[in-house]
Chains A and B, each alone.
Chain A
């Protein structure tokens, strides 16, 4: 299917961009720094001492997997929000570049359906996010696993949840790019969607503090349509820490985000199909 070819081309193009080159170098440098500078002393399954570049880190002695949980949780939140912020900036240009004069005409003249171009762009960006997240999370758990003997796949799952969140935001950015071919507007719309997603996660307590009226009604309406991104971030943190998670609740949050992504993508394709270039 040509969607995958479009996605593969996007990945190839991303590898050549300085943003992602820089990201790859930064993650690799961080991981190598941990390899060389982090010393963990494990006694009978308990993390007895931690040394970072020779300096002893004051910490209690507790089971290694329990001691690593805050690290995984922190990494999960950094991945979610930090990765989201990076993705907003670094990926904002892909759709506007696709739609640029000279390129879109050429692509549309090829035997590729219009929706395949957008779907392929979406898929490529999400795959890019997934690869970067898995590289960072996977590298971290490989290093910590080798140093402590604690092997867990939960951080990888948390990384995947973060990518679902990013996909939700990117669908809105894609729609924005189709409407207004501008990387800046696309990034701004992504940031706005992220903010709305955070607010929508707390809609119940916010609604409880609002007086009844048109404002409350409007907030209730739009917040019910927005994806609960903070809820997903918290769920990812719980998953990373191997804390118990209500699977039905997590499944509902995930489904909501995926459905929202689908809606954003469908709207973008609707506009794209009608557009003249």
Chain B
């Protein structure tokens, strides 16, 4: 399986000038591989090193040691960066320009020959069809994000690196952008997303990485990370005796179901039998899972 990006033993310390002390370590031996065609979400607290990692990935910052491969090549190779679309967290846009001029400029720097009609089509795709002739200086934050995403999508890149892609975008807009990114995934692109909106990560990404203090604490498929080993979620016919179930060892779940801890099938069936004897009729049983927020919290707590 070919990799979209591969980082091995990455170390990065930001040194201070002259009298500023030893500096701050942003990455401590980071190891990460992201297969092509997947959507990877990198999450972690502020100052974890997520943006630094992205910068090392794209050659914006230079790691002190370790290696980075971007689409099989070095980030210093312009040909590799030509196949990447990047949306930085705080993209600076020229206020006096109009969107087609900005996109045209990015296209030229990418070495792309894009016709004006294609630029307009791209702007419509990101929801800026009505703002084609407006100056960027009058755009809202959400519109700026959409324009930045459009620039990242120029040339149908193989890898999309998005830092807080829906920052400032309204909820409906986030739905649109998510659909757009899903379409890119279907096209075969690889997504690498850094976002604090865990719900968006959950909806979009199939693989997750949790970064804290420059170390990758956990990494893997989303389902695997969110799954709990010894917990089950049961749903009973409405009217089940809640208090009795609580006394029998069940816990109330957020969506009206009940959670039960069972190490094996014997313990699980024993618990279900107890519920049946109490008059609770089972309609659904599945392994219990945590949301990403919980996963993150548990992971960080465990690493402390």
Contact = CB atoms under 8 A, between A and B. Distances in A.
B169 interface: no
Contact of A103 (B14, B82, B84, B92): B92
B96 A102 contact: no
A6 B151 CA distance: 16
Interface string A251-277: 000000000000000000000001011
A276 B106 contact: no
Interface of A: 2, 5-6, 9, 12-13, 16-17, 100-113, 274, 276-277
24 contacts: A5-B108, A12-B101, A12-B105, A13-B96, A16-B96, A101-B90, A102-B88, A102-B89, A102-B90, A103-B91, A103-B92, A105-B58, A106-B88, A106-B92, A108-B59, A109-B88, A111-B79, A111-B81, A111-B82, A111-B111, A112-B109, A276-B61, A276-B62, A277-B55
Contacts of B161: 109
B60 interface: yes
B192 to A, nearest CB: 12
A17 B96 CA distance: 8
A106 B96 contact: no
A25 to B, nearest CB: 17
A276 B109 contact: no
A105 B109 contact: no
When A and B form their complex, which 10 residue pairs have the shortest distance between CB atoms, in order from nearest?
A16-B96, A103-B92, A111-B78, A109-B86, A111-B82, A102-B92, A102-B90, A276-B61, A105-B88, A108-B60
Given A106-B91, A110-B82, 11 more contacts: A5-B109, A12-B105, A102-B91, A103-B91, A109-B88, A109-B161, A111-B82, A111-B111, A276-B14, A276-B61, A277-B55
Given A103-B92, A108-B60, A5 B55 contact: no
A2 B82 CA distance: 13
A102 B14 CA distance: 19
A7 to B, nearest CB: 11
Contacts of B81: 109-111
Nearest to B86: A109
A133 to B, nearest CB: 24
Nearest to B106: A110
B62 A109 contact: no
A107 B78 CA distance: 12
Interface in B98-137: 101, 105-106, 108-111
Interface in B57-95: 58-62, 78-79, 81-82, 84, 86, 88-92, 94
A132 to B, nearest CB: 19
A148 B58 CA distance: 61
A109 B78 contact: no
A4 to B, nearest CB: 9
A17 B137 CA distance: 13
B32 to A, nearest CB: 18
B97 interface: yes
B3 to A, nearest CB: 19
Nearest to B83: A111
Nearest to A17: B96
A143 to B, nearest CB: 31
A66 to B, nearest CB: 46
A277 B109 contact: no
A2 B109 contact: yes
Contacts of B84: 109
B97 A12 contact: yes
Contacts of B108: 2, 5
A12 B110 CA distance: 18
Contacts of A6: 109
A13 B90 CA distance: 20
A5 B105 contact: yes
Contacts of B86: 105-106, 109
A178 to B, nearest CB: 14
A109 B58 contact: yes
Nearest to A15: B96
- Among B60, B79, B90, the most chain A Cβ lie within 10 Å of the Cβ of B60
A6 B105 CA distance: 9
B109 A110 contact: yes
Contacts of A102: 88-92
Nearest to B62: A276
